[in-house]
Amino acid sequence: MNIAALYPLASGPLVWFSVTFFFAGCTYQVIHFLRLTRPKPPPAALPTQPVRLVETVLRHTIGFTWPGKEKSLALVSLFFHAVLVLIPLFLLGHNIMLRNAIGLSLFSLPEIVADRLTVLLLLCALFFLLRRLLIRRVRRLTSFYDYWVLGLAIAPFATGFLAYHQILPYQTILTLHMLCGELMLIAIPFTKLSHMIFYFLNRFLLGTEYSAGPGKRTFS
């Protein structure tokens, strides 16, 4: 099959379909979450001791619990997820396509910066993969699905890197890159990648000891 022949489809209708599906799916999940939870009564009183009060306020505003016990993993994870969102949004090539399509674009990162960040992101993914393979407690939790999800998240960046450096047939890799990106957008709301949505809903909206936000809701 000639993948490059799919380029007009991948760069046109599939982009709009996947973006629409992504936003509609995310909206559905937010509504689903709000319907599963209900407003929580406010606490009877805030702590009166100054230190406890500051801790509580910090925890409820900027998230006092971060980065937890495994600081190196937390930092790698934070970097990975931040770059995972920032690169697609602020990549020059994407912004040029966006401007051509709707006449608007976002700020673009210098290409060299985006390229180096992509390499670091792929290294982070390798770290996660090795962690899954080598650490017993993580290996026991891991199923094929987890490798599939990791692959799905990384594929657009790996193919984007190959396309940028024109390592393999350009048109084929570029089309694959678009298809992988579209597949990832479609997968986010309804697979394990939905932790992108539920991280914010769980950590900021639910009122638990580890709430990083107002925590004004609870499961009914």
Partner 1 sequence: MKDVKQLLKTNRAKISLALRTCAHCSLCAESCFLYRTKGRKSDLVPSHKLINSIGTLHREKGEVTPETLAAIRETAFEKCALCMRCYCPLGVSLPHLISLARQICRIKGIS
Give least dist CB 11 to partner 1, A.
31
How far from 48 is each of 72, 84, 201, CA to CA, in Å?
Answer: 34, 41, 29
Question: In this chain, which of 17, 21, 127, 210 binds partner 1, going by CB under 8 A?
Answer: 210
Question: In this chain, which of 142, 169, 183, 216 binds partner 1, going by CB under 8 A?
Answer: 142
Between 170-187 and 144-164, two packed helices, what is the crossing angle to 10 degrees?
Answer: 140
CB neighbour class for 75 (10 Å; exposed up to 12, middle 13-18, buried from 19): exposed
Q: Which is nearer to partner 1, 9 or 83 (CB)?
A: 83
> CA–CA separation, 56 vs 108, rounded Å?
38
Question: In this chain, which of 30, 129, 138, 183 binds partner 1, going by CB under 8 A?
Answer: 138
> CA–CA separation, 117 vs 95, rounded Å?
17
Site string (53-72) toward partner 1, x via CB under 8 A = ------------x--xxx--
Binding residues for partner 1 restricted to 144-203, rule: CB under 8 A? 146, 191-192, 194-195, 198-199, 201-203
Give least dist CB 117 to partner 1, A.
22
- Which residues does residue 218 pair with via DSSP β-bridges, in sequence order? 38
Give least dist CB 80 to partner 1, A.
11
Binding residues for partner 1 restricted to 31-50, rule: CB under 8 A? 32-33, 36
Give least dist CB 23 to partner 1, A.
19
Give least dist CB 30 to partner 1, A.
12
Element (H, E) at 217: strand 217-219
Structure tokens at 52: 């406890």
Give least dist CB 97 to partner 1, A.
31
End-to-end CA distance of the chain: 51
Give the 3-state secondary structure of residue 39: strand
The site that binds partner 1 (CB under 8 A) totals a number of residues, namely: 35
> CA–CA separation, 209 vs 56, rounded Å?
10
Question: In this chain, which of 3, 26, 73, 183 binds partner 1, going by CB under 8 A?
Answer: 73
The sign of the torsion formed by the CA atoms of 174, 178, 184, 185 equals positive
Binding site for partner 1 (CB under 8 A): 32-33, 36, 65, 68-70, 73-74, 77, 132, 135-143, 146, 191-192, 194-195, 198-199, 201-203, 206, 208-210, 219
